[in-house]
Chains A and B, each alone.
Chain A
Amino acid sequence: MRYVLRRLGLFLVTLWAALTVNFIIPRVMPGNEAQAIIANFHGVNPAALHALEIEFGVNVHQDVIVSYFQYLANCFTGQFGLTAQRLPVLTDIVSKLPWTLGLVGVTTVLAFLAGTFVGIVSAWRRGGRLDGVLPPLLFIVSTFPVFFVGLLLIYVFAVTLNWLPLESNYSIGATPSLSPQFIGDVLAHAVLPGASLVIVTAGLWIYSMRNNMITTLAEDYVKMGRAKGLPSWRIMVDYAARNAILPNLTGFAMQLGYVLGGSILVEYVFSYPGLGYLFYTSTTDHDLPLMQALFLFYTLAVLICVLLADFATAALDPRTREA
């Protein structure tokens, strides 16, 4: 219990740090961009405008400390101001969210499951055919920049072979519905961006799972299991893998930040209109309110996953429950 509480403390401190970074950066960085952006909004939506003025420290004739707390309050009530297109930031984010959530969620789970499985098996049959090929190959591939893998996939499967669509989330002119055609269209558009993310992340899971497994397999309790004559799949899964997976669970959450970063690049490569592409356009449009809200959003997403991973660790590892 104390373990979970301590992690909850880290959660709050990190969230606070992200909020504070957002508050401080516009105040200490050179340039008057914030001023120009806010000038753009005059006469639009007084409440949202005021929230932005507080966030960026423009036209605010009050103590910085007071502004700071007002800004924190605004963030907690979801008032992030307006995008350059004069839409509420939150509305814009929520409308793009499902695409990224689908893409990142599915690929992360797939890569984790596949990578962990291959890691377990290749450590179990160490020096075997699988172990000799997949871990080193995918480890090298995992160091490739995700956008390079994306470009390569586009070149091969979209431009050269013309099997799959080049960009976007569904075909131009298709009307969103639950019809099989439309769902098929969406899936076809998601294959290449998803594959880029899986290819780049699976290797890291294999690598860490394999190394954890090798360490665990040398433990006495594994020998004990063998001596007791347990079936080997039970030793592999219940004795070795259950312990070896613990560091990976913590890594899972850390990894998510990496995957989310990767998804920004992938969405840019494929012009896939999710949060990552929104992030990219917010930098080219100098849409600072949107950009900072997205940074907060990504941080929050990672934090929630860190917390979930902590709960999972506590459930799997009795030692953390007692400590």
Chain B
Amino acid sequence: MKYFHIICTLLFGVAVTLFFGKAYPHHLHYQEQFQLFLFDSSYVWDVVKLPGGVADLLGRFCTQFFLYAWTGAIIIGVLLSLMQILMLRLANWGRLYGLSFLPSCLLWLFLLDENALLGGVWAVLLTLLVSWLYEKLPEGKIRRILLVAIVPVLYWMVGPLCIVFPLLQIRRSELPWNVVTLVLLIVMPIILAHFVPVPASKLWTGIHYHRYPTAIPTLLWGSALSIFALTCIVRSLQRWANASSKHVMPIVLYVLVVACMGTVVWKNCNFKAEKTMRYDFMSCHQQWNRIIETITAEKPNNQIGVTVQNLALAMRGELLTHMFDYNQNGLLGLLPDVERDAISPMPTAEALYQLGMVYAAQRTVFEAQEAILDFQKSARCYKRLAQTNLIIGKYEVARKYLMALQKTFYYCDWANETLQLLGDEEAIARHPEYGRLRKMAYQTDFYFSDHVTPQMLEDLYNSNTENRLAYEYMMAAFALTGDRDSFIKYAPKNR
């Protein structure tokens, strides 16, 4: 039976890892780009000072590794498996062994949402861990005092999900102590509302469980409360659950739970979003060849996909020759209007950047970062803001972003290298990207809103006729708007 449990947990962990690593990797990349984890005491304090801060910090710490999807997938696999192991320790599951996977499966479902934060998973896990450790304490007065003392500490560490801990400790013999802990849980948010700068409702539902400030993560709560419900069920069915039986019943239930939950997970996957995120990821990492391969296999039919497709074609010098082999969306397929959200402007910003419209790219990236719903910053955006400030010669501002990136795990080396460039005009001029983009910049200023016009592309091209990308975009714009005269004017034979 011992090996049976290990094998089942292992199988579950591998399934979760394979799922996120193979089927859902770009959801992990998506998560990573909406945070900036800093190895910095002020940053840590800013996170942990809020209720749920410790779980949030651990979540953010883990999320930084999502830059590499397989690392992220392994982390999630381990966390969900650990949770199941702790569930197993909380009760004698016997025949109902399969049900111990249910909370982990619910968290798996929760994590399908690209805005679900890993801090929520850590909140449940830490609560379970504390509950398990508490179970090991000997009976007595100290145990009871600790019960009351742990609640506020746990509330600070993991937020309102800690309610599971006192619920799990409800005993008929300790009723007064249980009442005290539950009263404490009710009083704390009421008092804290006067001191913590968040809406009072967040103190009841959790501050950093979900990126949307107004969202209540029902699956996360469902997972947490299922821990209590399941242990209640197991305890009440103790005699039946632990009656001697072969492995048949636990195996059947295990297979049933995993199969059912696996189906539910698969049915609830947002593969459409995954595809879109994939395009964004590829453009972010400038994987132009991979983009071409992808669009050749399946033509994109959404805004982000078409934008990235056109950018990749232009980067390969194939926009004019092949653009009509793929879906187009007029001018908006080349350079969509900038929306006020965190994700859709990013591919547009990449195109603006590559074209040499550095100021416009900078604004677009900055605004996208500001639109991150839970007010976090983005390593991806910081990197691009450092680059654009470097290109336009704002070295002190670039330095500021780079020095922040020096405090990160993955971007540190890049920041150190880029810092060497600041103020070194010759090195920047020689740089294949920054030097090129400096040369490609507009020579004359004008006002720009959110809508890129063919005229703007024409001006960009005329600022530097060696700007091949601007030429491709300009001609594509003429073709897409049916401006035959302009197209002929700039056609290769007339150039």
Are A and B interaction partners?
no
